[in-house]
Amino acid sequence: MSLAASPLKGRHRWLTNLSTLAVLSGLLIATAYASVTISFPEGTRLAFGLILAVVVVVFNLIGDTIEQRRLDTLRELGDSALAPTPANLLVAAREVMRQPEVAFWLSLSFLALGPLVVGGLWSLSSSVPPQVVLQVSFVGLIVSPLTATLALLVSVPRARQLLRELVAAGLPVTTLYAGVPVGFVLRRRLMLFAAVAVFTPLLLVADLALTRLRGLLTQLVSAPEAAAMSALADAQRSGGLWPLVGLVLLVMLMVSVSAWLSGSILGEPLRELAAETGRLARGEHGEARFIPGEYETFAASGAIAGMEAQLVALLGRLGQTAGELSGATGALAGGKGPRRVQNLDAASSTTGELARSAKEIAANALRVSELARQTLAAAKAGRDGAEGFMAAMVQVREGNQAIADSVVRLNKRVQQVGKIIEFINGIADKSDLLALNAELEGNNAGEVGRGFSLVAAEMRRLAESVMHSTREIGGLIDEIRDATNAAVMATEAGVKATDAGGALAQKVGQGLSRILDYANQSADAMQSISLATSQQQAGTDQLVGAMAEIVESTDASGAAARDMLAAHDQLIALARDLEQTVAKFKVRS
Amino acid sequence: MTDVQAEVIEGLVLCRVGEDRLAVRAREISSFDVPHAGARYAGEGFSPQARAPAEARLLRHHDTALVVDTVEVHSERLTLLSVPAVLVRAWGGALCGFVEAGGLLWPVISLERFAQGPEVVS
């Protein structure tokens, strides 16, 4: 993913340029001072110059590397290697705020150590007296505080400018104030600046004077005569002072610049803070503004920004509360209290009706539950009856079938009896004819056959009696046959009827089973409903009691409401005053 | 057209009256006896001057009696041949039909009606 060109590109170099220039300025002063005050042995100046150049380059490279490594996040933001998120911008802000201190300590270290290194290398490469080497090292020690102070002070304005740019790039002001640690060291820094401004020229002048005096005394002591001494004194008076004057002026210039910059460290933030607090005092509020500063001024700026944010939120809530208060007092004046009392009376009445309804519902549910239980019992009895009826129908069917079978067998027997009767009738008929013939023959025989004829006639009567009986039996058999046929048909119809009745009874049994299931479910449901309605009744009774207490409380609070109504006029006046007071503040969005 | 089932008669008493023949169902005859005065002679139905011979037989059935010349019991099964209604009325309602026995046609009569005489017929 390629990011757009960042406005922070190259700003890490821009931030450290002036501190490097300050170091070079200090180096220039030290070199000039050394050239004026130190008597270089013959033939060693070139070596000194070369060693000095190499040390300056090497130390500059080392210092630049250290500084840039402490600005990695800022560099990556400038190179668009990092997204400008608030977290990354905050890290970069921390790096920027640390940079003046880093420049201070690096300059102090390099200006203090550099002459020692140069003097050491110089003494190793040439035959230089140790006193000269010490003088070179001393110059570095004198110039280093001033140079470090100058490096710090020239870095501060650029660090402030970069912090503004980071805020413009999306770093929230509140995050910046909350996320950067503050060191309350302004007093020590000012003491350091003052000491450097005072003691550095003094030491330089004192060292210069002592060095010149020591050289003059050496020359005077070694002078051969008084005229030579006088000539040395005149030469000392007439010439050789201008380089010293120039050196002092240069030092004074650096001191002046340092003093002006140190004053600006306090002056600019204080001026902006004064303007911001003045704006707050005028009631012009808006979003918190970033006022760059260091040490205590940074803390003060953060505190004022937080105070402004809290004040804006407080004013917002105050205005909202004033509006609500005004609305509430207006509503109170509008007489919602009495309506609430009326509503409570209506609610109490409705709750009473609800309680009565709940009692009726509970009683009805109990009755319905009892009916459901009775229905369940009746359904059980009906199912048992249906099952018994089905068993009886099966028995009836079996009985009918047995009767039908018996009737069929009886019909067959009757038919056999009919055949037997026919056979007997035929015999009787034959007997009748035989007896008739015998009677005729006996009659033909005259008196002799008279007895025979009487016997034959008696036999004919017997035969006729038999035939008469057989005719009656035949009629009875016919009746029995008809009756058995009717019985067979009736039993068959009975079997069919019992089959139909059995099927119907089975359907009735199934229906009663379903009715039993439904009745069982209904009984369970009604039991649950009865329980629920009982609980509801208890809850409604409690509600009635609570509503009664509420009504009593409402009656009791009626007097308080009237007092409140009497006081609401004062509250309205107070709210209006509050709104007017809040309206004086101009909150900018 | 109606199909009339022919009646079968088992047990007939074949009677001769002069030259004429009569047949009576055996069950209509209770007993045979010697003719007595007052008993009706069957030959009077064919000829008013006809008289019963001495060896005549009396056919009795309850209170009805009829005198014929000779009597013979025929026990075979015979088919009763139906006769027209006009012929039945000509016989005074006493003719039931004819049967064939011994190669001859025999008129089957009702003993009770035939014994009551021609006044019954009208």
Domain ranges for chain B: 8-121
Please judge whether B75 and A434 are an interchain contact, meaning their C-beta atoms are less than 8 angstroms apart: yes
pLDDT at A336: 52
Strand pairing category for A586-587 and B20-25: unpaired
| Nearest-neighbour CA in chain A from B44: distance (Å) | 23
The alpha carbon of residue A470 is apart from the nearest alpha carbon of chain B, in Å, by: 15
As to burial, measured by CB atoms within 10 angstroms (0-12 exposed, 13-18 middle, 19+ buried), residue A281 is exposed
Contacts of A471 in chain B (CB under 8 A): none
Residue B59 pairs in a beta bridge with B32, B66
Q: Decide if B98 contacts B105 (C-beta within 8 A).
A: yes
Q: What pTM was computed for the model?
A: 0.47
The pLDDT value recorded for residue A492 is 80
pLDDT tens-digit readout, A466-491 = 888 888 888 888 888 788 888 878 87
Q: d(Cα A451, Cα A443) in Å, to the nearest integer?
A: 9
Cβ–Cβ pairs < 8 A, chains A and B: 36
What b-and-e string marks burial along A185-217, b requiring 16 or more CB atoms within 10 Å of the CB? ebeebeebbeebbeebbebbeebbeebbeeeee
Give me the residues of A, 398-437, that contact B with CB < 8 A. Answer: 429-430, 432-434, 436-437
Question: Position of tokens 């051969």?
Answer: A224
Q: Which residues of A are less than 8 Å from B34 in CB distance?
A: 443
Identity at A355, one-letter amino acid code: A
Task: Please name the residues between 69 and 108 in chain B that touch chain A, using a CB distance below 8 Å.
Answer: 71, 73, 75
Q: Which of A433, A434, A450, A461 to mutate to test the interface with B (most CBs of B within 10 A)?
A: A433
Q: Is the model's pLDDT at A334 over the cut of 60?
A: no
Verify whether the Cβ–Cβ distance B11 to A429 is below 8 Å. Answer: yes
Tell me what pLDDT residue A3 has. Answer: 47
Instruction: Give pLDDT, residue B84.
Output: 92
Compute the average pLDDT of residues A316-326.
72
Look at residue A385 in the predicted model and tell me its pLDDT: 78
CA-CA distance, A383 to A373, in Å (whole number)? 15
Residues of chain B contacting residue A443, judged by C-beta atoms under 8 Å apart: 32-34, 57
Residue type, A311: L
The DSSP symbol for A184 reads: -
Identify which has the larger pLDDT, A308 or B81.
B81
Say yes or no: ipTM exceeds 0.90. Answer: no
Q: Report pLDDT for A343.
A: 64
Q: What is the CATH number of domain A336-587?
A: 1.10.287.950
* Residues 445 through 504 of chain A touching chain B, CB cutoff 8 Å: 453, 457, 460, 464
CA distance A443 to chain B (A): 7
User: Under an 8 A CB cutoff, do A430 and B75 touch?
Assistant: yes
Q: Which of A250-264, A289-303, A567-581 has the lowest mean pLDDT?
A: A567-581
Q: List the single best residue of A436, A444, A465 to mutate versus B (max B Cβ within 10 A).
A: A436
- For chain A, which residues make up each domain, given as ranges? 11-264, 336-587
Residues of B in contact with A437 (CB under 8 A): 73, 75
DSSP secondary structure letters along A354-400: HHHHHHHHHHHHHHHHHHHHHHHHHHHHHHHHHHHHHHHHHHHHHHH
Query: Exposure pattern of A2-26 as b/e (b: 16+ CB <10 Å)?
Result: eeeebebeebbeebbebbbebbebb
User: B20-63, pLDDT tens digit by residue?
Assistant: 999 999 988 888 888 888 888 999 888 888 888 988 999 988 88
In A, which residues are within 8 Å of B29 by CB distance? 436
CA–CA separation, A349 and A568 (whole Å): 31
Q: Do residue B31 and residue A432 have CB atoms under 8 angstroms apart?
A: no
Q: Which residues contact A566 (CB under 8 A, 6 or more apart)?
A: none
Mean pLDDT of A270-290: 81
DSSP A239: S
- Contact flag A440-B10 (C-beta cutoff 8 Å): no
Q: Look over chain A and give the mean of its residue pLDDT values, rounded to a whole number.
A: 81
Distance from CA of B90 to the nearest CA of A (A): 30
DSSP code, position A9: T
Return the pLDDT at A240.
63
- The pLDDT tens digits of the residues spanning A189-211 come to 888 888 887 888 788 778 877 87
pLDDT at position A91: 92
Write out pLDDT tens, residues A45-91.
888 888 988 998 999 899 999 989 999 999 999 998 888 999 999 99
Please indicate whether, in this complex, the C-beta atoms of B33 and A443 are within 8 angstroms of each other.
yes
Contact B30 A430 (CB under 8 A): no
